[in-house]
Structure 1
Amino acid sequence: MWKLLDESNKNQYKLLITNFASLSEAFAQKSSNDSIIIAPIINSKFQEASFKKSFNATIEDIGNSSYDASVKLTDGSKYIIGIKSFGVKSGFQKIAQFKKDSQQDEWGSIIERIKKRQQNGSSDDDFDDYLELAKKIAVLRNKRISSSKSQLQGFDFDSQVEAVYHVLMPSGSVNKDKQNDEPYILVGETSYSSIDLKHLQIIGPTKSNMLQNFQFTDGQHLYQYNSADSQLLMSFKGHSGTGISNEDIGIEKWPVTYIEDPFKLFANLNSETTKAVDDHISQSVTFMIKIERRSGFNAWYGSPKTKLDKNDSRYHRIVSLSQQDTSVPSDWLSKFNKVAFDSFSSDKAKKDRERLRSDVTKYLSHGSELFNLATTILWRNYKTPYEVYIPIPNSKKFHTENPDFFVKNGGLLNGQKLVSTKENRTFTLELLPSQEKMVMFINQDNGKAIQSLSSQFIFGEWVLKNIFQLKNRELLTTDTLEEIGINAITFTKYNDNRPISMSFTYVDSENPPEDLWN
């Protein structure tokens, strides 16, 4: 990717990073040895901000996201990027964490089996257990990467999105007495690939007394899993992780010259008036994704909007076909009638109905007329299970306080009913980071739903299959959200005539964003 970036943009990025690093002596403890020049300092947040500014990138601030930024180049190519900084001589680097997943799936029990054998993690059974755990890690890691790519890919499922790690590696401290020895920052790049499940190979535990930490490879990268904090680490020594040093992935070296008196610079920063950069954001709000079994992102799973009538010609056809089909059980029609006509009011009763509905469906031959009729009658949308809407939590309060957020007067309510016409509740939404646009509208009682105006199934398929990585007719759950590292959606308004943007994000309950809506 680096070689494809615009040279002037790369020079701006280099200038920002090296200028910041030139101030390193202001942030470091003074060495007692005057012959030592300290190592350059890189601040990760400043690095991300500089990357965004220089390359017009979208920076993602998602807790469990697989990437940090995305860029679309002028030739149409798209990249998701893991932005990292670490010393040239550093070891394995953290690339993912699976704390909740490891607890829910009891990964610790696999480690305990290995410890109980007392074979130092070297027996065949130990390697089989390590391989089982490595596969669990790989599946979750790959889901997150696929979801991240899909957000940049957008609705064009065939478009290609490449993934790379972009790395800045500062040199260590430098001895003034050594000739041609100077501090520098090495730019590195290596592939950011999914883990190849077919070529997993266990290296073994990191130490004989640390059986909970082990290394494995897929032939593309060398990984290490640390059980205590459920972290996945990766080696950057060469493109497969088996090189001599991190310098093996280096592609460009930037010398760093320290400012003689950085404190003087800081003391005079406010001596001149500086103009603040305007990001043109006028308002933003973050909604936690609320999981409902039969609505929201699971709306396709609900009952049909129109209840079947026994006088309906479709029902008479169901009766006729079920009597002709010898493969269905004798009580099939009575079960069908129960699902179609009985009242299921409580949540428990509705779940009973869903189990009975699945039982009725499984006896039918896929593609048959009876199957097509029955699934159409009993399901909201069985054939194309992508009917979804974005739920607005506590929507009545939100629209009362923010009636113009999505569109002027779009959220005005009279009791539970929306006042404005459908046309006046319609707005354009830009999906980030793909920058694709879709016309949406506010709908349902209390304005609780944001729905696509004419492309509901396109939006639904993209969200369910590509962002949430679900199979057809698989319900979205909180466990799934934790697996892929998404649990919220942020909507942002701008004052420069841009449409409202929407991006998936992750909210840490211990450090929620200021715009979180409750």
Structure 2
Amino acid sequence: MWFELDEKDRDLYKRLILAYASLSEAFAQKEDFSQNTDKKKLIRPIVNSKFQEACFQYAFKASAEDIRNTSFDVAVRKINKEGLEKKYLIGIKTFSFNGNDQKIAQFKKENNTWSSLIQQMRDNVEKKELTVSQINEINHDLYLKLALMIANLRNQRIKSSIANLQGFKVDPKTDSIEYVYHVLMPSVEEGSPIIYVGETDYTKIDISNIKIEGCTSAKLPCNFVFSDGKHIYKFTPADSQLYMFFDNKKIIKESWNVIWVNEAQSFFLNLYKKVYDPKNTDYQSNDFDKNTRYITTDVLPNNEITESYCWLIAPKGEVELSSGFNSFYGTGMKIAIKDREKKIKKIHANYINSVAETKLNELIKLLTDYSLSNTNIDRFTLRDEICKLSDSIGNADLNSEVKGLVFRPFNEMYIPIPNSKEFHNKHPNFFGKDIGTFLEIEPNKLALDKKDRAFILIFEPSGDALQSYICQDNGKAIESSKKQSFLGEWLRKGVFQLGDFEPLTVKKLNELEINGIRLYKTKKKLFSDNSELYGEEIHLEFIWIEEGKEPNDFIGEL
């Protein structure tokens, strides 16, 4: 990636980073100088990680992704010589050139999931004088089991992030996407400060090739290392952190020599004078360059959000099982009774010669009770019984037909709006002029026709857009206009990483570190009047909302 980025942008990024690093003397601790009279030879350049991300965004016109709770930090879009778009999804890191293993993920919310495995690892070696080899032999299967759990969680997060960053329309013929770690590695080489620029691939963990390397030491039997043939990883249970070894010497793309600013503190005093007290002449320094130009916040990309609202997906402790993101899970059947009868008879006819008669007859009876009975039955329990029986038969085609009958289409999803009637009454024009208005004679029905309730839903950070509209009683739902499954499939398979007929749960949300939604509008419009998309532009992103630290645009519960 590095050499595919514009040279002038790389140079701007380099100048910004070196300018900051040249002031490292001002941040150095006394112990950095204690063993050498030439103190500056001992200082390792300092690069602040947040400053690094901000500079990368500024220099390469990258979008910030870490604020959206993705596995990546920034995304860059480039148009190649053939006019096709290429996207880089990038993790940004800065660490000492001498430190190879770096934290790449944390799983605090999953501590309880594998606490019994960790305890068993401890119990296996407690009060025993064992070598590392002996510990590895005893705990190998436990290490492998936990490594597989960690790898699956890590991969789910990455795939969910990729779905958000790529968008829902990814065509391998036209969309070129590269996943990379971009790193800066400050060092002191033979007394000279230097920053190495490194790059390595950002990949999912290859679960099929996981190999346990063993514990890190006999004193820490629960800290263990594993590999997948591409990268080496380390897991530490004390803080549920996953580390990756970056193989620093092999990933270097180029190096930058750092020059120290003389009297760095004086530089800051002069900066203070320039910004806060330009008329005061008390501060002087021969090292201050009066012609220096400073980048100020007014020339950095500014936030153009004009209206924004966010909320929790599951404020009551669990995702509702029959509406919104789990609308397919509802037991109300949209198929006419006569068509249900036909489907049941067809299932019987198709499998009478391939499924045991007793099991097939039992299944047909349960399907009949579920689909045709008018009595007051527990349809959720009955459906669970049907699915268990169907699964036990072991016929994939039969299973697909049965679940297709008792469930609604699994891509039938919509985005629920919290307290929708109240929301629309307060913000009737958020989605477009008068979209949130209701009929006087039917106060739960939206006043405008479907086509007049349309708007452009823009998925962030990918930038993909889909014609959508507000629908259902009280205007509680956002659906894609042409076909509900357009939005549903992207949400189910991409963002939430759900299998067929798998409901969205809080457990799954926690694994992906997604628990909220934000909708917002911006000053700048992305689509022209002659676009096939029309209406107000509403941006959608999935976020994490921390309890007790709700953002200013938080509007409460669903």
TM class by smaller structure:
0.7 to 0.9
| TM-score (ref. length: structure 1) | 0.86
What per-residue deviation string (whole Å, max 9, x for no partner) do you get for residues 21-55 of structure 1?
A: 23333444466666212332222112111111221
Aligned match for 1:266, one of 261, 264, 272:
272
Alignment partner, residue 193 of structure 2: 183
Native 8 Å contact 2:132 2:218 kept in 1 = yes
What letter is aligned with 1:164? V
Q: CA deviation at 1:453?
A: 0.6
What letter is aligned with 2:208? K
Aligned match for 1:411, one of 433, 436, 439:
436
- Quickly say closer, same or farther: Cα 1:417–1:503, change in 2 above 3 A: same
Report whether the alignment pairs 1:435 with 2:463: yes
Gaps of 5+ in 1: 239-245
What per-residue deviation string (whole Å, max 9, x for no partner) do you get for residues 79-100 of structure 1?
A: 2111001112224211001122
Q: CA deviation at 1:365?
A: 6.3
Matches of 1:319 and 1:247, distance apart in 2: 67
Q: CA deviation at 1:430?
A: 1.5
Q: CA deviation at 1:280?
A: 1.9
Alignment partner, residue 13 of structure 1: 13
Report whether the alignment pairs 1:83 with 2:92: yes
Alignment partner, residue 207 of structure 1: 217
Aligned length: 495
- Quickly say closer, same or farther: Cα 1:321–1:255, change in 2 above 3 A: closer
Aligned ranges 1:97-496 → 2 under 5 Å: 97-106=106-115, 107-116=117-126, 118=128, 119-120=130-131, 122-123=133-134, 124-154=137-167, 155-156=169-170, 158=172, 159-172=175-188, 181-236=191-246, 238=247, 246-260=248-262, 261-263=266-268, 264-270=270-276, 275=298, 277=300, 278-290=302-314, 291-306=319-334, 308-309=336-337, 312=338, 314-315=340-341, 318=344, 322=348, 325=352, 327=357, 329-342=360-373, 349-358=378-387, 372=401, 377-381=405-409, 385-413=410-438, 415-496=443-524
What letter is aligned with 1:17? I
Q: CA RMSD in A?
A: 3.0
Q: CA deviation at 1:497?
A: 2.0
Matched residue SS, 1:142: helix
Moved more, 429-438 or 271-280: 271-280
Matches of 2:216 and 2:4, distance apart in 1: 38
Aligned match for 1:66, one of 40, 55, 71:
71
Gaps of 5+ in 2: 279-295, 527-536
Matched residue SS, 2:539: strand
Native 8 Å contact 2:444 2:474 kept in 1 = yes
Moved more, 204-213 or 191-200: 191-200
| TM-score (ref. length: structure 2) | 0.80
Matches of 1:428 and 1:63, distance apart in 2: 20
- Quickly say closer, same or farther: Cα 1:316–1:427, change in 2 above 3 A: closer
What per-residue deviation string (whole Å, max 9, x for no partner) do you get for residues 164-184 of structure 1?
A: 110011224x8xxx7xx4322
Aligned match for 1:39, one of 31, 35, 44:
44
Matches of 2:226 and 2:339, distance apart in 1: 61
Native 8 Å contact 2:331 2:379 kept in 1 = no
The share of aligned pairs that are identical, in percent, is 37
Matches of 1:298 and 1:24, distance apart in 2: 53
Alignment partner, residue 241 of structure 1: none
Matches of 1:485 and 1:66, distance apart in 2: 10
Native 8 Å contact 2:154 2:205 kept in 1 = yes
Native 8 Å contact 2:344 2:368 kept in 1 = no
Moved more, 60-69 or 428-437: 60-69
Matched residue SS, 2:366: helix
- Quickly say closer, same or farther: Cα 1:113–1:254, change in 2 above 3 A: same
